[in-house]
């Protein structure tokens, strides 16, 4: 019959092996800049614009301390804030107050903590850079 100490040691050893196996299988976590680059793979940047027509936006994604991406279907519009990028957190709620149907580079975005509901900071938007998919050579000709 095993002693209590032997049982504990066996359990700890087994737990260590499980954790080591899980750590070995874990993929390295991408930085927000790397995540953004991955989202833009196969796309080419177009001419930056000052405003974005909001009714076309179907989805928005925040890349921590990096950028806000607005999806309009065929085009991803990347906005790298002029100020306050450090406030960007993909777990926060983004509150915008546009004047009319456009969001422009002079607008301010407020960040609200999702859990506590308090204001976390403001972001001054920059230019909106459109990224569209590159067409294959066969499609061009």
Q: Is the pLDDT assigned to residue 20 strictly greater than 80?
A: no
pLDDT (0 to 100) of residue 138: 45
Average pLDDT over residues 38-46: 96
Q: Is the pLDDT assigned to residue 17 strictly greater than 70?
A: no
pLDDT (0 to 100) of residue 85: 92
Q: Is the pLDDT assigned to residue 16 strictly greater than 70?
A: no
Query: What are the extents of the domains in the chain?
Result: 32-140
Q: Where are the alpha helices (DSSP H) in the chain?
A: 4-25, 32-39, 137-140
Q: Is the pLDDT assigned to residue 141 strictly greater than 70?
A: no
Strands (E), 67-141: 67-71, 75-79, 93-96, 102-104, 108-112, 119-124, 128-133
3-state secondary structure of 69: strand
pLDDT (0 to 100) of residue 46: 97
Average pLDDT, the chain: 86
Q: Is the pLDDT assigned to residue 1 strictly greater than 70?
A: no
pTM, 2 dp: 0.76
pLDDT (0 to 100) of residue 9: 61
């Amino acid at each position: 019959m095993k002693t209590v100490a032997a049982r504990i040691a066996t359990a700890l050893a087994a737990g260590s092996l499980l954790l080591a196996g899980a750590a070995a299988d874990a993929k390295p976590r991408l930085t927000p800049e790397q995540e953004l680059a991955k989202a833009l793979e196969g796309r080419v940047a177009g001419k930056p614009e000052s405003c974005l027509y909001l009714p076309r936006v179907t989805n928005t994604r925040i890349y921590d301390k990096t950028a806000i991406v607005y999806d309009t279907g065929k085009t991803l519009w990347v906005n790298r804030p002029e100020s306050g990028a450090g406030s960007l957190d993909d777990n926060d709620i983004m509150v915008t107050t546009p004047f009319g149907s456009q969001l422009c580079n002079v607008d301010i975005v407020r960040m609200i903590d999702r859990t506590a509901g308090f204001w976390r900071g403001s972001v001054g938007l920059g230019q909106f850079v459109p990224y569209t998919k590159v067409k294959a050579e066969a499609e061009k000709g």
